[in-house]
Each structure stands twice: as C-alpha cells, then as structure tokens.
Amino acid sequence: MTNELPRTFDPLDMANYRIEKLPKRTRTGFARTLALAGGPLALIAFMLLGFVIKLPFLERIDPTRLVDASARKAFEAVGSEAFIRSNYLMLAIFAAAIILWITEALPNYLTSLIVIVSLVLSGVLPEKEAYAQLGHPVMWLNIMSFVLASMLVKTGVAKRFALWFLLKFGKSASRIFLSFIVINLVLSAFISATTAKAAILLPIFMVIAAIYGARSGGGKTNFGRSIVLQNLLDINIGAGAFVTGSGANLLAAALIGGAIGGSVYFSDWMRAMLPMVAGLMLIGYVLAMKVFFPLAPNERVPQIEGGMDRLRRELRQMGKLDAQEVKAIVIFALILGFWATDRIHGISPTAVAFVGAVVALLPGIGIVKWNEVDIPWHLMLFSAGAYALGAGLSITDLPLTSVNAAFDHLGIGQNTPFWVLYLVLTGVMIFSALIFESKTMRAMIFVPIAIGVANRFGLPVISLALPTAFMIEHVYVLPFNSKPAALLYETEMYSYGDTFKFGIAMMSIAWLLNIVAGETWFHLLGITPNGVFGLF
C-alpha cells in the first residue's frame, strides 16, 4: 500500500474521509502469524480443556454454592456428572472463542456463529435459548439506535452541531480539542453506538487535522496524533457517562438490576459517571497536549490558508435548519427526556428507543426509510455470539465456580477487606480490555463475577458490581480493543506505540479515579456505603 496521495486529492474535502474510503491495512509480520496460528491454537485449546485436562475445581461442584438460578435448575435437571461435563465444554468453547477473537483468525461474526452452534451441539445451551440471543433487549436497543443514528446522519443534525460548535468556540488549536470534548459528551447522550459516533466525527476532525498540517499517510505530527487519539478516547469513555451509551452498559445494568430485584436507572448512572467522564476527558486533554504530544509552535496555527473557511462553507452549504432536522431534534430530545426520567415512568430505554425509531420510520411523517438505515449486521451477529457465550457461562455458573476455587486456593476468606475485592474486581474489568475485543462479553463475564463475590461476602451487590460496570468503556489502548479503535487506526495518523502509551496511561488513571470515587463521590451517592477503605 502506497502512502502517496492522488494529485486530485483535496485534504479539506470531507468526502475523502468517509469510512469506505479509508485504506485497508494488510496484515504483516506478527499479526499475520498470529492469525494463521489462531485456528490451530483454538482447536487445541478446545480439545485439551474439553476432553483431556481434568481440573479439580470442576470435578467437585457444590450445588449449594451456585448463585445463578438457571445454573441451580440445570444441576437439578441433569445431575452432577452431566453438569460437570457441561462446565468443561463451556470452558473449552470459551477459551477457543477468545483465541479466535484475539488472533482474528476468522471474522468476528463467523467466530460468533461457530460459538452459537457449538453451544447447541455440545448441549450446553438449548437451541431456543442459544438462538434467542439475537432477540436480546440490548440487541434491539442497538438496532433501534442505528436507526436513530442514521436519522442524524441523513438529516445532518450531528454534523451541523459539530461544525457550528467548532466554528463558534474552536478559535485556536487548544480550543478545538476542548470543543471535541463537549461534542463527544453531547453525542454520547443521544447515540448508543460508539462506531456511529466515530463515523460522524471522523471526517470533521480529519479535515481539521489537514488544516493544521497533519495528513493521513503524509508523516505523523503531534497535532494529528492528538486530535485522533483524544477523539478515540472521548468517543469511547463518553459512552460511559450514560447507561444508554452502549449495549454493554445496558446489559450490565440489567444484570445488576436482576441481582438486586430493582433497576439501575438512567439518572442514577448519569449522576455517578457524567462528572467522572468529563474529568477524565479533561485529564486526557492535558496529558496529550503537555506530556505525550505537545504541539510545536507551527502546529498551533493553521497551515492551510483559509482552512477554517472551508468548514464555514460546509456549514453554509447545509443551509438553514429544515423541517426534517427539526423533527430529528424533537425526536431525540423526547427520547433523552424519557431516558432521563425513567425512574418516574419506568419505561425501559429499549422501549423508548423502539418508539423513537418507529416514529422516524413512519411513512409521511417519518425521516428515514428502511433502505436508508445503516445497520452493521456483522456487528449484530458478533454481539449475538457474545450474548450466547454469556448465557452459557450463566447456565453453568462457570465464572463464580472459578472465582470460588481461586479464593479457596489462595485462602481468601470472609475476613478479606472490602478494598481488596474492590481493587481486584475493578482492576480486572478495566485491564481485561487489553485482550478482549467485546465490551459485551466483558460485561457478561465480570459483572456476574462481581455480583457473585458480593453475595459470597455478604456485601451489597451494587457496591462491587456497579463500580465494576463503570469500567466497561475503556477500550482505546490498542487497535483491536474496539471498533472505533480499529477504525481510527486506519487513518494512519499514529503508531501502535502512540496509542499504547497514551491509552495505558489513561486506563491507569481511570482505574485510580474509580478507586478515589469509591471512597468519595460513590460513597456520597450511596453506591459504596462505607467507602473503599472504610474511612467513613
């Protein structure tokens, strides 16, 4: 692949930065070797864990220690021997799936399809339950969110807002970066798909990068590194400010709600996390500008004469706010209003998004047609496989069985301080993002573990499970950690080293901030009644 730009290439033309026009990287070196080895490694792991290796903690499962109701029911229905066999097969399928997802030996949607049929053929999950994951409420929320995001894209509301805000407040390089923080927070409140946010913002910040002398494939600059990596950070953690920010958040909230016999409301999550997320975005801005990617004097001023005029022209070409845009704004305002008041009316976020999408699609009064809706079905199939895997882990109670075995082996008893459990669970959740490709899978694995640990130690479920869930969206360190990370890496504005050093620093700071919040802010909100270290 050549880095030379065509002679007719206009660096200020937003159409040049559409997703489909980004260069596709070919695998080389270690990545290619890893992909080739992934299939055989997955098969070996499946055979060893499923049929060869005997694990003591799986040989003697105590049904009285099973927390999940479906797991207890399955144990009673099939008996000890068959239940143990299901646990071995579940572990084997899980390990093989993780290897395939990490190595990318197969497309992630194909791995998910293999996972689903493997769970059925192995008898771990009944067919109806395995296939029903495609109809999971969170799946429907994702589908409806893509309908609503398509409405924003078609009408141009998101682009108009971003351009207007940048031109209004982005008077200098530093203000441009701060403007994107606000833009990301606003979009996160309305759009439940981080990939959709990335698709909307990518052409805008790439044009701004070109205005300030940073070109895709034309030599990396600190301005280019900073504007792309800060947006990658903000696109992802912005979703953490709202329970509707991603399907993984909603799944975690549903798991916790089921465990406490209540609900984790939109307002509860936002009150806890919006200040945290805004603070993290500002910390990311300071670190990028002062420590990791400080701007040279020539990078602080536009390099292309009249560059910002191009953005003004883009905004002028959109004309005045039309009726369709007004409709889109009204629909989203109502949706956000219903989400924010869910504690009052009790309607689920999925149902609210459903109604909004139906209105947007209605003939005559709607805004988009079905064939104009951009739904990435390969991502939906990928998510369905992750949900099926989570259902398998639930029905076998494998995560809690493993945790109990580990705690017993390490001699961790009832006198273990709360702060140890808090630090371990939140730390494992956030740093697991370095190897897991799916936020949904991490939510399905680690939130139930946090619930199980809380039950084991007689602690309020919310005190461990909710702070653990708050760590879901930190998926920005390496290109394979999330779809936006993979997408923005294709801009060729930064290297693996750039994204790792900035990302791992922000991930570590986010964990420390979560710990501090557990002792202060979360304590004030009643999430951690006694704080983390028992100072209250």
CA-only gyration radius of the chain, Å: 24
Task: Judge whether 390 and 97 are in contact, CB under 8 Å.
Answer: no
Which pair of tokens denotes residue 93?
């399928």
Provide CB contacts within 8 A for 192, sequence distance 6+.
141, 142, 145, 149, 239, 244, 245, 246, 247, 353
State yes or no: pLDDT of 364 exceeds 60: yes
Angstrom CA distances, 260 to 255, 256, 264, 454, stand at: 9, 6, 9, 11
Least confident among 63-67, 232-236, 271-275, 485-489: 63-67
Q: How far apart are the first and last CA of the chain?
A: 59
Task: Judge whether 264 and 253 are in contact, CB under 8 Å.
Answer: yes
Segment 276-305 mean pLDDT: 88
Q: pLDDT for 405-452, tens place per residue?
A: 877 777 777 788 999 899 999 999 999 988 776 787 788 778 888 988
State yes or no: pLDDT of 227 exceeds 80: yes
Can you tell me the distance from the alpha carbon of 100 to that of 97, in angstroms, rounded to the nearest whole number?
5
Sign, CA dihedral 121-103-423-189, equals negative
State yes or no: pLDDT of 194 exceeds 70: yes
Q: Which of 116, 9, 8, 95 is nearest to 49 (CA)?
A: 95
Segment 103-109 mean pLDDT: 83
Q: pLDDT for 241-255, tens place per residue?
A: 998 888 788 888 888
Can you tell me the distance from the alpha carbon of 202 to that of 217, in angstroms, rounded to the nearest whole number?
16
Task: Judge whether 32 and 105 are in contact, CB under 8 Å.
Answer: no
Report which of residues 527 and 25 the model is more confident about.
527
Report pTM. 0.77
Which pair of tokens denotes residue 350?
């999925």
374: left (phi over 0), alpha (psi -120 to 50) or beta: beta
Segment 440-466 mean pLDDT: 86
Q: pLDDT for 157-177, tens place per residue?
A: 877 877 787 777 777 888 889
Q: pLDDT for 292-316, tens place per residue?
A: 999 888 888 776 666 677 778 878 8
Can you tell me the distance from the alpha carbon of 401 to that of 71, in angstroms, rounded to the nearest whole number?
11
pLDDT at position 532 is 77
Q: Which of 284, 205, 204 is nearest to 238 (CA)?
A: 284
Task: Judge whether 176 and 208 are in contact, CB under 8 Å.
Answer: yes
Segment 143-157 mean pLDDT: 79
Q: Which of 71, 65, 110 is nearest to 87 (CA)?
A: 71
Can you tell me the distance from the alpha carbon of 467 to that of 418, in angstroms, rounded to the nearest whole number?
13
Q: Which of 475, 466, 465 is nearest to 510 (CA)?
A: 475
Least confident among 333-342, 344-353, 373-382, 413-422: 373-382
pLDDT at position 5 is 46
DSSP letters for 188-248: HHH---HHHHHHHHHHHHHHHHHHTT--TTS---HHHHHHHHHHHHHHHHHGGGSGGG-HH
Angstrom CA distances, 192 to 236, 359, 385, 497, stand at: 11, 18, 20, 29
pLDDT at position 228 is 92
Angle at 18 between CA 16 and CA 23, to 5 degrees: 80
Q: pLDDT for 500-524, tens place per residue?
A: 999 999 999 999 999 999 999 999 9
pLDDT confidence band for 13 (50 / 70 / 90): low
Q: Where are the domains of the chain?
A: 138-372
Provide CB contacts within 8 A for 232, sequence distance 6+.
198, 476, 484, 485, 488, 499
State yes or no: pLDDT of 20 exceeds 60: no
Report which of residues 213 and 94 the model is more confident about.
94
Report the interhelical angle of 377-396 vs 80-103 (nearest 10°): 150
Q: What is the largest CA-CA distance in the chain?
A: 75
Amino acid making up residue 354: F
pLDDT at position 49 is 93
CA dihedral (436, 439, 442, 446) in degrees, to 10, reads: 140
Angstrom CA distances, 359 to 48, 330, 365, 507, stand at: 52, 11, 8, 39
pLDDT confidence band for 4 (50 / 70 / 90): very low
Mapped onto helix, strand or coil, the DSSP state of residue 469 is helix
